[in-house]
Structure formats: structure tokens, C-alpha cells
């Protein structure tokens, strides 16, 4: 099935990616995690996205599931993009941003939380394709701390 022409600026994301990264925050111990990301399309002008992560031990073996998220990536005119993500932790985010070549910068426009979710107020993500690998850095403002690093990772494409 042909990719919808509107998706051309972010078509480089399509596929099944696997890799590893690092998490940290002032309130927690840093740790290594493994990640799987899947970007799919169905011919319509959005990408479906899902991500799963696992805590990794020193040997790189999976210990237990960590964060997961899923949503949709929509391209607007002038290479503006809108991303909607839902998290099992009771948080929903709407990001807005821009695609410049193989770099995508996203900032939360809206965050909604269930009454029981952790205090989370903003996120910022930078995705880039570097030597064919998908790399990203994620910053968050949460539990009384201003926007700062929480996760970053590098993933290889393992299937189209
Ligand atoms: C690669 C993705 C991510 C991984 C592997 C990850 C992992 C973790 C871990 C292990 C913790 C500390 C223990 C825990 O509370 O479970 C944590 C805390 C937290 N994470 Fe993430 N996280 C990721 C992405 C996110 C995202 C996208 C958000 C927001 C939508 C988020 C929000 C938080 C919050 C609010 C805390 C609580 C901090 C605290 O209470 O001290 N995380 N994360």
C-alpha cells in the first residue's frame, strides 16, 4: 500500500525499530533500558506508533517491562507535526513540532492526567535519523522538577 503523500516528511520513521537507552531523573537511579518502537501506516495521512521498553541488567538481559506508550503522528502543512500519545500511567500528551530534514522536535501543547497519575506537566522530544539509526532524547518536567533529561536511546531498523 502506498504511503499517503502527506506523510513524506516523516516517512523515514516507518518500520520496526529495536535498541537501547538510558533513563535518569533527580528522583531516581539511572538505568539502562531496551526499547522496541513500531511505526505503521494504513494509507491514511497519519502514522500509528507504539513503543515498549524493558529494564536491562548489566548483561543486557531483559529484567521487567518499563514504560510503554502509543498514539498517532499527523503531518500538517509547512512540515508542522502533531503527535498524540497515551500512557498506561494515566497520562495523555499532545505534542506539536516541526520536521527539518531527518530531525523532529516536539514540545507538549497539552498534558492531561487522571487524578491518580504522577505529577507530570511537560515533555520535549528530539528525534533524529543518524547513520540510519533512530535516535531520540526526551526531557520532562515532573514531580516538582523543571524540564530535564529523562530518557534517550538509539534504535536500529530491524524490519520495514
Ligand atoms: C523510554 C521511556 C521511559 C522509560 C524507560 C521510563 C522509565 C522510568 C522509570 C524506571 C522511572 C522510575 C521508577 C518508576 O516510577 O517506575 C520513571 C519515573 C517517571 N517517569 Fe518515566 N520512563 C520513560 C518515559 C516517560 C514518559 C514519556 C513520561 C511521561 C509521559 C514519564 C514519566 C515519568 C514520571 C512522572 C516518573 C516519576 C518520577 C518520580 O516519581 O520520581 N516517563 N520512568
pTM exceeding the 0.95 threshold for the entire prediction: yes
Distance 149 CA to ligand 1 centre (A): 11
pLDDT value of position 41:
98
In terms of Cβ atoms closer than 10 Å to its own Cβ (0-12, 13-18, 19+), residue 67 is: middle
Q: Which residue ranges of the chain lie beneath pLDDT 70?
A: none
Under 8 Å between Cβ of 103 and 128 = yes
Q: Give me the domain span that covers residue 20.
A: 5-157
Q: Report d(CA 108, CA 75) in Å as an integer.
A: 16
Q: ipTM, 2 decimals?
A: 0.96
Reference 113, options 141, 136, 137; nearest CA is 141
Distance 3 CA to ligand 1 centre (A): 33
Q: Total structural domains in the chain?
A: 1
Reference 138, options 76, 67, 46; nearest CA is 67
pLDDT value of position 113:
98
pLDDT value of position 40:
98
Under 8 Å between Cβ of 141 and 121 = yes
pLDDT value of position 36:
98
Distance 28 CA to ligand 1 centre (A): 9
Query: What is the separation of C-alpha 31 from the centre of its chain, rounded to a whole number of angstroms?
Result: 18
**Residue 28 sits in a domain of what CATH number?**
2.40.128.20
pLDDT value of position 103:
98
Residues 6+ apart with CB under 8 A from 65: 52, 53, 54, 55
Q: Report d(CA 96, CA 105) in Å as an integer.
A: 8
Q: Work out which ligand 1 atom sits closest to the CA atom of 21.
A: 1
Question: Among 90, 125, 136, 142, which residue has the most ligand 1 atoms within 8 Å of its CB, making it the best to mutate?
Answer: 142
pLDDT value of position 37:
98
Q: Work out which ligand 1 atom sits closest to the CA atom of 66.
A: 5
pLDDT value of position 10:
98
Pairing assessment for the beta strands 103-113 and 120-130 based on DSSP bridges: antiparallel
Q: Work out which ligand 1 atom sits closest to the CA atom of 142.
A: 35
Amino acid at each position: 500500500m502506498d504511503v499517503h503523500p502527506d506523510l513524506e516528511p516523516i516517512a523515514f520513521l516507518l518500520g520496526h525499530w529495536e535498541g537501547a537507552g538510558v533513563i535518569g531523573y533527580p528522583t531516581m537511579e539511572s538505568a539502562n533500558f531496551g526499547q522496541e518502537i513500531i511505526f505503521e501506516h494504513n494509507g491514511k495521512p497519519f502514522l500509528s506508533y507504539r513503543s515498549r521498553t524493558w529494564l536491562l541488567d548489566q548483561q543486557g538481559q531483559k529484567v521487567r517491562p518499563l514504560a510503554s506508550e502509543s498514539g498517532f503522528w499527523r503531518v500538517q502543512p509547512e512540515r508542522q507535526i502533531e503527535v498524540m500519545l497515551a500512557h498506561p500511567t494515566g497520562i495523555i500528551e499532545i505534542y506539536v513540532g516541526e520536521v527539518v530534514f531527518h530531525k523532529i522536535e516536539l514540545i507538549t501543547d497539552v498534558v492531561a492526567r487522571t487524578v491518580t497519575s504522577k505529577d507530570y506537566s511537560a515533555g520535549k522530544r528530539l528525534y533524529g535519523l543518524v547513520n540510519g539509526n533512530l535516535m531520540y532524547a526526551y526531557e520532562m518536567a515532573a514531580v516538582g522538577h523543571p524540564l530535564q533529561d529523562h530518557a534517550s536511546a538509539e534504535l536500529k531498523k530491524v524490519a520495514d
